[in-house]
Chain A
């Protein structure tokens, strides 16, 4: 047992090191503390282990079966049939494409605008606190509300505000959710996630050394060079974190599609496709195989995020 481990423990349970007690009693206290610590951790660990293993095992189990609860129930083992069928169905590649376009589009918009907004909000101004509150607000709006409000009050081709705006400029109003369905979803989701990106980038930018920027300015570096060589490198880590966390959440967006297009007009993402296979067509085997693909995909992203978070834990 390394001393590096036992030292912080001494702080809580064992006698203070300064009192010069023999090592043996320290060790006893530590051992006692460790047993107590394990006990205190047990409920959280066991619950999460159960939450992870039980459904995961069931999904894996179903993914190798032909299982149609409404049409015959359990029809036996089929090997990798579901995995092959899920990938070879005509809906699969379009759903991968829709997922990539939506996730990529939202990421690009939120990161670029987020950097801009973070820089803007970091400038001296009047009423900074209020502006920040205004910018953050969309993050607290529940997904079903923002999807419905955008769908009806902004994107409606007759009464929507955007239709009024188009008409004011003499243009033919767009039928947003059919003509530009993917872009509409990207717009709605970006509006929801821009506050998150902005807030994190703003926090990161506030730790930037102002004197460094001022020194560069005095040396005659123009604004775009100061941005490219000082601000942006400083933000790179925060940008990575934003991209990874958002990717995990964006891969599983659901409500925004559920209440707007229901997956029609090319907005059927992988998540939505699996949802339809499982709950709408009640093809559990096929849906479970899709679920396994989704889990693998999310894990690939998660590994990168964990590396960054893990590194931070050591510091």
Chain B
């Protein structure tokens, strides 16, 4: 039996939690607000917070100066491509491990996880060398492959966790009703697996979008995604706070929105099912 909470107590909780929440969110809010200011307002002392003349000028300048569209397109191709490729490879594997487990299934799963622990810097030069030899340096396809391999263990794990929750009895029932294997996969299993596949897709797009070791080290001008677009703002030229803010907002905007949708899957996906 739950105790009733006094309104005062609830109000106190609310005030405290909102205070902390806004404090944590503040750097993002500040960046978004600054992106709508002029450069002069962005460095004014004392800082202006909300009361300024809103302008979209910075967005136009950033697009013109750095060609945001091209980086965005690279990010979409790299994050989306690596995730879809990874899912195509991982679905059959996770499927067979969930429905036809053997003695070695657990070992294989743990081994896959262990490849995720390989520190990237330990294999930086070999990958770099392979990329040069195969002409993959600064290409989107090269990054799609590397990011797919990096995230493959997480994709397999997430899908495995979801597939395991599909009860085997439903399949038996379908078969007794005379469903063929094809019908079974198409009409019974696939609809049940789609939510799991969708959340796996979402989380891995986010991880690939934000990956900042390989994307910085394996690209130059052609295939650079948004992580590199932003890194190019690390050496300032004159007044640039507002432009930096506009560029940052454009880089994190798409993924921030996706991220809020995927927060429920985040926990089981990132802890490999160790915390549910």
Chain A interface (Cβ within 8 Å of chain B)?
2, 5, 8-9, 11-13, 16, 33-34, 36-38, 40-41, 43-45, 47-48, 51-52, 54-56, 58-59, 62, 117, 120-121, 123-128, 130-146, 148-154, 159, 161, 164, 168, 191, 194-196, 199-200, 203-204, 210, 214, 237-238, 241, 245, 248, 251-252, 254-255, 258-259, 271, 274-275, 278-279, 284, 287-288, 291-292, 294-295, 297-299, 301-302, 305-306, 308-310, 312-314
Contact = CB atoms under 8 A, between A and B. Distances in A.
Interface stretch (B119-127, B135-143, B190-198): B119-127
Contact of A291 (B121, B176, B259): B121
Contact of B100 (A34, A133, A203, A241): A34
A140 B256 contact: yes
Given A45-B93, A125-B14, 10 more contacts: A11-B99, A43-B89, A55-B126, A131-B21, A144-B228, A159-B241, A161-B47, A164-B46, A271-B121, A274-B124
Given A8-B101, A40-B95, A241 B171 contact: no
Shortest 7 CB-CB contacts between residues of A and residues of B: A11-B168, A291-B122, A140-B259, A37-B96, A40-B92, A55-B123, A58-B126
Nearest to B240: A152
A274 B101 contact: no
A136 B28 CA distance: 11
B93 A196 contact: no
B210 A309 contact: no
A277 B18 CA distance: 46
A124 to B, nearest CB: 5
Contact of A124 (B5, B114, B259): B5
B249 to A, nearest CB: 9
B119 A148 contact: no
B234 A259 contact: yes
Contact of A153 (B14, B213, B244): B244
Size bracket, chain B contacts: 35 or more
A123 B112 CA distance: 38
B28 A278 contact: no
A291 B123 contact: yes
B20 A135 contact: yes
21 contacts: A2-B103, A8-B99, A8-B100, A40-B96, A45-B108, A52-B118, A131-B17, A132-B263, A134-B24, A137-B28, A141-B252, A143-B227, A144-B227, A144-B230, A148-B248, A150-B27, A164-B46, A278-B121, A295-B122, A309-B273, A309-B274
A302 B274 CA distance: 14
B50 interface: no
Contacts of B252: 140-142, 145
Contact of B10 (A58, A126, A279): A126
Contact of B16 (A120, A199, A288, A299): A120
B263 A123 contact: no
Report whether over half of chain B's contact residues are helix, strand or loop; otherwise say mixed.
Answer: helix
B77 interface: no
Contacts of B212: 142-144, 254-255
Nearest to B31: A149
B128 to A, nearest CB: 8
A275 B122 CA distance: 9
Contacts of B100: 8-9, 12-13, 33-34, 36-37
B61 interface: no
Nearest to B160: A313
B56 interface: no
A236 B24 CA distance: 25
Given A34-B100, A271-B121, A294-B119, A203 B230 contact: no
B17 A123 contact: yes
A279 B22 CA distance: 40
A16 B226 CA distance: 52
A291 B123 CA distance: 7
B235 to A, nearest CB: 10
Interface string B62-88: 000000000000000000000000000
A124 B13 contact: yes
Contacts of A164: 45-47
A123 B13 contact: yes
Contacts of B110: 306, 309-310, 313
B93 A40 contact: yes
Contacts of A292: 122
